[in-house]
Chains A and B, each alone.
Chain A
């Protein structure tokens, strides 16, 4: 696995730049990852990112967009505004989690 430097720290990432070890993540890292994809995190973003982290910790899997809406209580429309174009992928990236793999 490649190692890269984000926020002056060395982290393990896959070839797409997603963190491979959720334990290397903290909120400062989340902020740095978000800025890599041009997003400035506000309270609403954090609500989504924290839900992703908690749900992943509980279930061992990155939640899908639908799950963030249904179980996390954030409307899909809003997720598209917060993380334009590819909310599921972008949220996972910022939260330092693998891409959701609901799609096979």
Chain B
């Protein structure tokens, strides 16, 4: 009997065990997945909880319901991977041996990593929406906010779903306008990046959208601490941004057991080959989803596309063949822009998000980097697709690798990342 052990039964882990259980004979392969609890949360839904668009019960389902027959689901806190003896230790003392290991334990917001963030203002005037508890607490607090400075803040890149803070700012603007109090609120967007987003064309479009909405941008801001007494963010270069209500994205980090196991980088992400997701240190270890260090967005769509490549590669590997699939970093994200509209961005390691149209079977092409109602509906439809198509590992008619079809390529640009030289700024 050979053993495949998957750590983390979230987006990537669940898809993997569903797909592989169908392709690996039960007489030869035992598949086990470990997670700490039985609540599978639809994290993209956290964006909508504070505004009351979704209720908590719409974003949580029982994890075991998505794990197929023939796969053992073990509940427990992972303590350590011992790669030399090919086994995993749980905190309760159990040991799980493996032939192949997939680390799919994602990334987690860590407010404890910034001095003062968990101070007396935490969940009073300082909130996050990247956790279920944070988004729920903000949903309870937001209705009482009717004037002052609302600051949306990113601590440090990379974060999962890098567009979510922008979406939050757009939705907050729209929500404040609906309540007729937009003019009583100063909306500020604070980012460690030099612009609205990481990639130049999208950054320009999204930056223009912030400006149109009179959302002030404080860029190149690396937070050092949160001053609870003065209710202000303080940067390393001693700038201050005061707030009445702070919605922050805390530092995102991979699981601590990754560091304890000696398998992580400085943010506990597992170094892997960016095309095969195979650990650079151990040939029988892979990291899939947010847990790896690949230079792609940490997003459910990336998890999905990379799982498709991983599964085929894995079957080759265990057959003693070379892995022929190469993941390209493909990401495809809907961006809520408020007022029932949204944008779509589609990109990979080499091609930044471009304008144009994204061909989709049945529903027709979607506008890229353009605010449309269809993109908003696409975002909402995604929740149904997540629970019913993605997690069960059913085929979705989207190509795993990015396609250039419909994209507008700037004349002097092959699509690579660009921005201004440091001396010009």
Query: Could you tell me which A residues sit within 8 Å of B by CB distance?
Result: 15-18, 36-38, 64-67, 70-71, 76-77, 79-80, 84-86, 89-90, 93, 99, 101-104
Contacts and interface: CB of A to CB of B under 8 A. Distances in A.
Contacts, number: 63
Interface in B308-362: none
B409 to A, nearest CB: 17
B239 to A, nearest CB: 10
26 contacts: A37-B422, A37-B423, A65-B222, A66-B156, A66-B266, A66-B267, A67-B265, A67-B266, A76-B222, A76-B224, A76-B236, A77-B224, A79-B236, A80-B237, A84-B237, A85-B220, A86-B425, A90-B422, A93-B421, A93-B423, A102-B158, A103-B157, A103-B198, A104-B157, A104-B158, A104-B296
B413 to A, nearest CB: 10
B422 A86 contact: yes
Contacts of A84: 237
Nearest to A70: B266
B158 A16 contact: no
Contacts of B1: none
B417 A101 contact: yes
Contacts of A65: 222
A89 B422 contact: yes
B136 interface: no
Interface string B222-252: 1010000000000011000000000000000
A80 B295 contact: no
The 3 A-B pairs with the shortest beta carbon distances in the complex, nearest first, are A103-B157, A16-B421, A70-B266
Interface of B: 156-158, 162, 193-194, 198-199, 220, 222, 224, 236-237, 265-267, 295-297, 417-423, 425
A17 B421 contact: yes
Nearest to A90: B422
A18 B296 contact: no
A102 B421 CA distance: 17
B425 A77 contact: no
A104 B267 contact: no
Nearest to A78: B236
B425 to A, nearest CB: 7
B423 to A, nearest CB: 4
Contacts of A71: 266
A93 B422 contact: yes
B137 to A, nearest CB: 28
A86 B421 contact: no
A101 B416 CA distance: 12
A32 B422 CA distance: 15
A93 B224 CA distance: 24
Contacts of B296: 104
Contacts of B422: 16, 37, 86, 89-90, 93
Nearest to B159: A103
A103 B421 contact: no
A103 B422 CA distance: 16
Nearest to B193: A103
A93 B420 CA distance: 12
Nearest to B420: A16
Contacts of B156: 66
A16 B157 CA distance: 22
